[in-house]
Chain A
Amino acid sequence: MDFEYSDEQKLLAETLRKFLNTGYSFDARAKIMAGPSGYSEDVWAVLAEMGILGVPFDAEHGGFGGTTVDMMVVMEALGEFLVVEPYLATILGGRFVARGGSAAQQQRILPALIQGKLKMAFAQTEPGARWDLRHVSTGAAKAGAGYVLDGEKAIVLHGGAADVLVVSARTSGGEHDASGISLFLVERGAPGVKVSEYRTLDNLRVADVKLAGVRVGADALLGREGRGFELADEIVDYATALVCAEAVGAIKYAHDATLEYLKTRRQFGVPIGTFQALQHRMVDILISYEQARSIACLACVKVDATDADERRRAVSAAKIKIADACRHVSQEAVQLHGGMGMTEELKISHTFRRLTSIAQAFGDADHHLERFARLG
């Protein structure tokens, strides 16, 4: 057992933070969000150049061959700075290819992704599905050597930015069956793909993706036909562990900013941090932060476990605690900031929104309570 980040991990975090400190100020971020795409190609190029896009991928494709704990330090930094670039969505898409793709698919996608030339997204959610990965009614019908895809996906994280979408579609079985789901690599620009983008309140982008008679070749099938659920379950767990780490970074910011505010804001002639009613609430924020960090470590370490149930258990446990901590810390941070915490002008309100969104991402606490319980 060992609880420290390695020297390489510390260096990685330091390099990334150094860039974000200078190149990703709160004002710079505001400009990026206001732009047409909602992210910055320049920032993306820097992330590629620094190797951040390649952290989890194998060296043979130009990656760093990093573990999920390596990714944890990256996600923490992105969380702290509320980075809006489609990083998580792209890594999630790339992970599908790295874990389930053929050699040819990996060769086509991963080097380009790592070099910053290709973005990805996972088109899974359908109206009414909530976070159930089995709920897939989008169809994939055999057509010659390939398939024709028809259906509607919604709230696809960074679906508008993606060059290639991983689409879940049913090749057999009923709407809620685990078996019969297949995964396809679909070019966003392919005929029949219609993407409608939305801004989220935490300033990311999501998209509805309509698929009408979209023709793909046999080489678009990711992994085995009908066995997409197992792969999606594993990859979404991976993304969940990453978003837990992102939450830790955002919670850290909320903690630091609130503590600073308690020390500087004066009322009744004294800093408000001298009031015990507020001190104890601040301590509870610290406790939530430490507990969130611990459970995120657990998720990031166990998400690579070979035993799928061990992985599911750790990830769901982590998401329960992270969702609770997101809610607790974000609400308290705004409350302790008073009226200022409500304003668009302060980063704390943006952190509040991101934490609120992370609490729901890849399943809210109730979803994971149910999943954890079913694992026994």
Chain B
Amino acid sequence: MDLNYSAEEIAFRDEVRGWLRENLPADLRDKVLNYRELTKDDLLGWHKILARKGWVAPFWPKEWGGTDWTVVQRYIFEEECGAAGTPPIVAFGVRMCAPVLLRFGTDAQKQKFLPRIYHGEDFWVQGYSEPGSGSDLASLKTRAVRDGDSYVVTGQKIWTTLGHYGDWIFCLVRTDTKTEKRQDGISFLLVDMKTPGITVRPIILMDQGHEVNEVFFDEVRVPAENLVHEEGKGWTVAKYLLGYERMGTGNIAVSKRELARVKAMAGPLLDDPRFRDKLTRVEVELMALEITNMRFLDQLRGGRAPGAEVSLLKIKGTEIQQALTELMVQTAGPFAQAFRPVNGEGSFDRLTASLLPRYCNVRKATIYAGSNEIQRNIIAKATLGL
């Protein structure tokens, strides 16, 4: 056991750090560090910069553009991105659709989609949840009826993150309503969002932001070649994907940056033992999680799909994220109240004004990607055998 970076790892870190310094556009960095909304162009723009460097999908197989980095190198890369304030690489394409295609896709599907995902030519989103199917995802009702060479899709998805940016959406749909086990009637479909019959409607959250949407499907014709894996095997695909979905949710690198910002914003509040002890406990939890994360990643070296361990990272990682937003609000004291100027700016400060909305926004973290209660169910079943 050795928790220090080797000379090669330090050299790699310096290379990444130097490259980010040269290539991360200042306007993007400012938006990230000031909690401002990132447009589709911002997100894909950064994606393309990384793709040109060859660093956008480190964990893919080398033949498709992976980097062959070790677990530690991948971690160093994430950490440097977090520290530098890069926009996130939106997970739906690179981290979710692509691993599914690599595992279950036909050669034609891989050839068609993987290079486009890699180069950020399409913005992918995820069509899982439905109004009646949240944690109980297998109850989903969106129908896909086979008609010649197509499926005809009718139904509704909800909480579609960045659905308003979406070019393509991967969906879980019901192709058979009569199976004994309801999971067996589910299939995994790739849908071009420009297809007639699709409507995207915004859902405004309590931070006043537009991030999630409802997506309506009204007799949308999807070519049958866009079915991934076999018909009725969508649940297998979804389960495989779940591990990958949760893998990025620890958000450790970003939390390290945010922790440093809380300290910087806290000023004299750091001398208040009540505040300081709360902050230290979060810091210590994060120090432990960083090592837990690497211990688990280390176990995945053989290419094994992530299992219930990542649920633990999701639970702790999101709890830490939330705790940090709460502490950050506390640093602003009464100034956390002002949200938007009405007439004249006075004492108004845009960064301070973003802290409370961010606190509101990050409440989502313990709900999305399988609520933390669902994650505990998964660990109870898969790891503990309860």
Contact of B384 among A3, A286, A373 (CB under 8 A): A286
Give the 3 A-B CB pairs with smallest separation, nearest first. Answer: A294-B291, A279-B380, A295-B288
Q: Determine, out of B4-12, B35-43, B106-114, B348-356, the stretch whose residues face the partner at the interface.
A: B4-12
B interface footprint on A256-291 (CB within 8 Å = 1, 0 otherwise): 000100110000000001101001101110110011
Is B315 close to A, CB under 8 A? yes
A4 within 8 A of B: yes
Given A279-B380, A280-B373, A297-B3 in contact, is the A373-B280 Cβ separation under 8 Å? yes
A-B contacts, 9 of them at CB < 8 A, read A3-B3, A3-B298, A6-B1, A262-B386, A273-B384, A279-B384, A286-B384, A317-B284, A373-B276
Q: Answer whether residue A302 sits at the interface, using C-beta atoms and an 8 A cutoff.
A: yes
B288→A279 contact, CB < 8 A? no
| A282-B380 in contact (CB<8A) | yes
Q: CA of A143 to CA of B72 in the docked complex: distance in angstroms?
A: 58
CA–CA, A293 to B294, complex, Å? Answer: 12
Q: Are A283 and B379 in contact (CB under 8 A)?
A: yes
Provide the residues of chain B in CB contact with A287, threshold 8 Å.
312, 315-316
Interface residues of B in 279-301 (CB under 8 A from A): 280-281, 283-285, 287-292, 294-295, 298
A sample of 18 more A-B contacts (CB under 8 A), given A284-B376, A301-B4, A372-B280, is A2-B2, A3-B294, A3-B298, A9-B1, A276-B380, A282-B384, A283-B379, A286-B383, A287-B316, A291-B289, A292-B288, A294-B290, A297-B1, A297-B3, A298-B287, A298-B288, A321-B288, A373-B270
Q: Are A282 and B386 in contact (CB under 8 A)?
A: yes
Query: Are A283 and B380 touching (Cβ within 8 A)?
Result: yes
Give A residues with C-beta under 8 Å from B: 1-6, 9, 69, 259, 262-263, 273-274, 276, 279-280, 282-284, 286-287, 290-295, 297-298, 300-302, 317, 320-321, 324, 366, 369-370, 372-373
Interface status of B377 (Cβ within 8 A of chain A): yes
Closest Cβ neighbor of A295 among chain B residues:
B288
Within 8 Å of chain A (Cβ to Cβ): is B385? yes
Residues of A with C-beta under 8 A to B6: 1
- Chain B residues at the A interface, C-beta cutoff of 8 Å: 1-6, 9, 72, 270, 273, 276-277, 280-281, 283-285, 287-292, 294-295, 298, 312, 315-316, 373, 376-377, 379-380, 383-386
Number of A-B contacts (CB under 8 A): 115
Name the CB-closest residue of A to B75. A1
- CA distance in complex: A295, B292 (Å): 9
A1 x B276 contact (CB < 8 A): no
Tell me how far the C-beta of A24 lies from the nearest C-beta in chain B, rounded to whole angstroms: 26
Q: Which residue of B lies closest to A372 (CB)?
A: B280
Closest to B281 in A: A320
Q: Which residues in A have their C-beta under 8 angstroms from that of B280? A: 320, 369, 372-373
Q: Which of A2, A273, A292 has the most CB of B within 10 A?
A: A2
- A301: B residues at CB distance < 8 A: 1-4
Residue pair A320, B2 in contact (C-beta under 8 Å): no
Expressed in whole angstroms, the Cα–Cα distance for A31 and B230 within the complex equals 64
Q: Which of chain B's residues has its CB closest to A275's CB?
A: B386
Nearest Cβ on chain B to A162's Cβ, whole angstroms = 31
Contact partners of A282 in chain B: CB under 8 A: 380, 384, 386
CB distance from B296 to the nearest CB of A (A): 9
Of listed B277, B280, B384, B386, residue having the most chain A CB within 10 A? B386
Q: How far is the CA of A69 from the CA of B287 in the complex (A)?
A: 18
Return B266 CB to nearest CB of chain A, in Å. 12
Cβ contacts under 8 Å, B281 to chain A: 320, 324, 369
- The listed residue with most B CB atoms (<10 A of its CB), out of A5, A282, A302, is A282
| B292 surroundings in chain A (CB, below 8 A) | 290-291, 293-294
Contacting residues, chain A, for B289 (C-beta < 8 A): 291, 294
Nearest Cβ on chain B to A368's Cβ, whole angstroms: 9
Hey, which chain B residues are within 8 Å of A286, CB to CB? 312, 379, 383-384
